[in-house]
């Protein structure tokens, strides 16, 4: 399914931010790793969170769900002897479960998205699992991957954080369940460090004790711990909301988003500060962001690694700013659903934006007068490319047709419904 985005000068209205994808996947996992019954209120509904639901159910968790909550009885440290798992296109779900699969005799992760997740590298985690004595069969570090767990005991592990923080998070979920104590040392930098803060927060809520160094590069984890069954409440999602806020910033707008906590550990809450630095009129109080866009934005420089899943939306806003913006320290955007530097900038250029790339930077020469539009956009299987190009389409001179826009459902199935509710001219077409 494609979406046609027709230029829309004005957005107005109020929406409830969707629930956080990253917290939902984590709460589902820690609930599955507990032995009793946990309740998660307001879990996200998207392809990625559904992938975690499906996999923990295959691994033996019992799940009951209604409109408000999901009730999970976990399998503790004894997952069912499942042969195959399908994580869809969800990187975090795959990486977290590759580690948990070490508790199973043999599990194969299938390759359902050969052109997206199928291209992403997992070598660093494979290497760390190897240090625990776990055998991993793979195709040059990529899917399909078979994990032969045996019975890892714990011990000293190193993991590279240069490509993704998800490898470290995966080891942090596994090691408390092992018989012996573990020590993890992160090598070569740690990208998306803020997301590890979310992992540690959720582990603590689940009753797990981890000693982490202040720089998040060293960890001591006691073995033989048990995840406690708990009640969790999922907060609003900043990465998805970043695209809605960027849309409000590039138009004449009066847009209010609820459920966005000021003190959230999501790095992508930086979208609010970035838009403020771009001189977009907005307020953020009591979990409510209110944007009154006037279409004028100023360029800025920003360390994108602090808000990895909001960078594409920030770049989309910068396309219309006065001056040249620079988003640096973003190399690991190349290892996401697509190469979010080269592939994304190609699509932006097609739409008429003036952008340049370096290995680890995106540079945007703003065009406050608007971009041409009138072209077809390749979504590259990437929900964040789809959302960001939608923002650009709202202020183009002619409509954009975003091919295969249904992949937006990876994280934000109702993105276009939300934009429509704000008055955006967006239409699904076959």
Ligand X SMILES: C=C(OP(=O)(O)O)C(=O)O
Question: Whose Cβ is closer to ligand X: residue 92's or residue 297's?
Answer: 92
311 conformational bin, left if phi > 0, alpha if psi -120 to 50, beta if neither: alpha
Task: Choose the contact partner of 216 out of ligand X, ligand S3P, none; CB within 5 to 8 A by kind.
Answer: none
Question: Whose Cβ is closer to ligand X: residue 305's or residue 337's?
Answer: 337
Nearest to 126 by CA among 170, 87, 83: 170
Task: Choose the contact partner of 90 out of ligand S3P, ligand X, none; CB within 5 to 8 A by kind.
Answer: ligand X
Within 106-125, the residues that bind ligand X by CB under 6 A are: none
Q: Shortest gap between Cβ of 92 and ligand S3P (angstroms)? A: 4
Within 331-350, the residues that bind ligand S3P by CB under 6 A are: 332
Under the criterion CB under 6 A, does residue 164 sit at the interface with ligand S3P?
Answer: yes
422 conformational bin, left if phi > 0, alpha if psi -120 to 50, beta if neither: alpha
Question: Whose Cβ is closer to ligand S3P: residue 245's or residue 400's?
Answer: 245
Whether 404 contacts 2, CB under 8 Å: yes
| 403-to-58, 88, 266 alpha-carbon distances in Å | 33, 20, 30
Under the criterion CB under 6 A, does residue 241 sit at the interface with ligand X?
Answer: no
Task: Choose the contact partner of 384 out of ligand S3P, ligand X, none; CB within 5 to 8 A by kind.
Answer: ligand X
User: Helix (H, G, I), strand (E, B), or coil: what is residue 184?
Assistant: strand
**Contact residues for 252 (Cβ-Cβ < 8 A; gap 6+):** 9, 10, 11, 293, 294, 295
Is there a catalytic annotation at residue 309?
Answer: yes
Binding residue positions for phosphoenolpyruvate? 21, 91, 120, 166, 340, 384, 410
Query: For the window 381-410, what string marks contact with ligand X as x by the rule CB under 6 A?
Result: ---x--------------------------
Q: Of the candidates 411, 415, 419, 422, which one interacts with ligand X according to CB under 6 A?
A: 411
- Dihedral pair phi/psi, residue 126, rounded to 5°: -60, -40
User: Helix (H, G, I), strand (E, B), or coil: what is residue 232?
Assistant: strand
Task: Choose the contact partner of 39 out of ligand S3P, ligand X, none; CB within 5 to 8 A by kind.
Answer: none
CA distance 392 to 377: 11
CA distance 362 to 345: 8
Which sign does the torsion angle of CA 56, 57, 61, 66 carry?
Answer: positive
The gap from C-alpha 95 to its chain's centroid, in whole angstroms, comes to: 13
Q: Of the candidates 195, 275, 388, 419, which one interacts with ligand S3P according to CB under 6 A?
A: 195
Under the criterion CB under 6 A, does residue 305 sit at the interface with ligand X?
Answer: no
Q: Of the candidates 29, 34, 52, 90, which one interacts with ligand X according to CB under 6 A?
A: 90
Binding residue positions for 3-phosphoshikimate? 21, 26, 164-166, 192, 309, 332, 336
Within 55-94, the residues that bind ligand S3P by CB under 6 A are: 92
Catalytic member of 237, 305, 309, 382: 309
| Peptide linkage before 144 cis (omega within 30 of 0) | yes
Q: Which stretch binds ligand S3P (CB under 6 A): 77-85, 104-112, 159-167, 175-183?
A: 159-167
Q: Which stretch binds ligand X (CB under 6 A): 12-20, 86-94, 273-281, 371-379?
A: 86-94
CA distance 176 to 146: 23
Binding residue positions? 21, 26, 91, 120, 164-166, 192, 309, 332, 336, 340, 384, 410
Which sign does the torsion angle of CA 403, 406, 411, 416 carry?
Answer: positive
Task: Choose the contact partner of 192 out of ligand S3P, ligand X, none; CB within 5 to 8 A by kind.
Answer: ligand S3P
Residue that the structure tokens 């956080």 belong to: 20
Whether 129 contacts 102, CB under 8 Å: yes
Q: Which residues are marked as active site?
A: 309
- Give the interface with ligand S3P as residue ranges (CB under 6 A): 22, 92, 164-166, 169, 191-192, 195, 308-309, 332
- Give the interface with ligand X as residue ranges (CB under 6 A): 90-92, 309, 336-337, 384, 411
């Amino acid at each position: 399914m494609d979406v046609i985005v027709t230029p829309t000068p004005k957005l107005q209205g109020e929406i409830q931010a969707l629930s956080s994808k990253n917290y939902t996947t984590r709460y589902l996992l820690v609930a599955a790793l507990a032995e009793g019954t946990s309740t998660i209120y307001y879990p996200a509904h998207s392809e990625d969170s559904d992938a975690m639901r499906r996999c923990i159910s295959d691994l033996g968790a019992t799940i009951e769900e209604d409109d408000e909550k999901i009730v999970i009885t976990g399998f503790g440290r004894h997952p069912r002897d499942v042969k195959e798992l399908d994580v869809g296109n969800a990187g975090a779900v795959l990486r977290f479960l590759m580690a948990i699969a070490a508790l199973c005799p043999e599990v194969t992760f299938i390759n359902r998205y050969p052109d997206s997740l199928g291209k992403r590298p997992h070598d660093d985690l494979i290497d760390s699992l190897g240090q625990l004595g776990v055998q991993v069969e793979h195709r040059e570090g990529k899917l399909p991957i078979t994990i032969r767990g045996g019975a890892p005991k714990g011990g000293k592990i190193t993991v590279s954080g240069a490509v993704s923080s998800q490898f470290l998070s995966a080891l942090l979920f596994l090691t408390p369940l092992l018989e012996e104590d573990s020590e993890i040392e992160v090598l070569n930098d740690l990208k998306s460090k803020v997301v590890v803060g979310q992992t540690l927060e959720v582990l603590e809520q689940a009753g797990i004790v981890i000693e982490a160094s202040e720089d998040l590069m060293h960890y001591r984890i006691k073995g033989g711990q048990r995840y406690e069954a708990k009640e969790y409440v999922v907060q609003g999602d900043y990465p998805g909301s970043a695209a809605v806020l960027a849309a409000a910033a590039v138009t004449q707008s009066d847009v209010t988003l609820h459920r966005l906590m000021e003190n959230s550990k999501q790095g992508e809450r930086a979208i609010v500060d970035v838009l403020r630095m771009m001189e977009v009129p907005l307020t953020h109080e009591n979990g409510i962001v209110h944007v009154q866009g006037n279409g004028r934005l100023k360029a800025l420089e920003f360390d994108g690694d602090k808000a990895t899943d909001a960078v594409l939306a920030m770049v989309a806003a910068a396309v219309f700013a006065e001056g040249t913006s620079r988003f640096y320290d973003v190399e690991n955007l190349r290892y996401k659903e697509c190469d979010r530097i080269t592939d994304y900038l190609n699509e932006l250029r097609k739409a008429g934006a003036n952008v340049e790339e370096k290995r680890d930077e995106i540079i945007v020469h703003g065009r406050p007068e608007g971009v041409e539009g009138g072209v077809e956009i390749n979504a590259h299987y990437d929900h964040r490319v789809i959302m960001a190009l939608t923002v650009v389409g709202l202020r183009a001179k002619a409509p954009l047709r975003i091919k295969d826009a249904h992949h937006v459902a990876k994280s934000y199935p109702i993105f276009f419904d939300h934009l429509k509710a704000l008055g955006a001219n967006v239409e699904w077409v076959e």
